[in-house]
Amino acid sequence: MPSRDEPLVAIAEFETSLEASLARGALEAIGIAALVPGEALGSFSTNRGGVAKNELHVFASDAQRAIVELRRLQIRLVNDERSGPD
């Protein structure tokens, strides 16, 4: 993920890491940098402190565009509270 001097924000939470990774790839394919924290650890990593969240993060300035694009691609967002009502 490129480095920028702005915060990352979580825009969605998915039921599985695979769904989060697919959403990340879809955003990156259209030029929106995205990150799934812990993705590099793989599914066999130990998670201390509870159940892993499969959150998708983008730079704050890209958040609204990313949500719109995920909806356009019909990617189901499990936790979509930041994007407002449908």
Domain ranges of the chain: 8-43+51-83
User: What type of residue sits at position 83?
Assistant: S
Q: What is the pLDDT of residue 31?
A: 96
Token representation of residue 61: 């300035």
The CA-atom distances, in angstroms, between 40 and each of 2, 14, 43, 72, 84 are 16, 16, 9, 27, 30
Average pLDDT over residues 54-81: 86
With bands split at pLDDT 50, 70 and 90, how would you rate the model's confidence at 80?
A: low
pLDDT tens profile 32-59: 999 998 777 665 555 555 556 789 999 9
pLDDT tens profile 2-41: 667 899 999 998 888 888 999 999 999 999 999 998 777 6
CATH assignment, 8-43+51-83: 3.30.70.1530
Buried b (16+ CB within 10 A) or exposed e, 51-64: eeebbbbbbeebbe
**Cβ distance 67 to 82 under 8 Å?**
yes
pTM recorded for the entire structure: 0.75
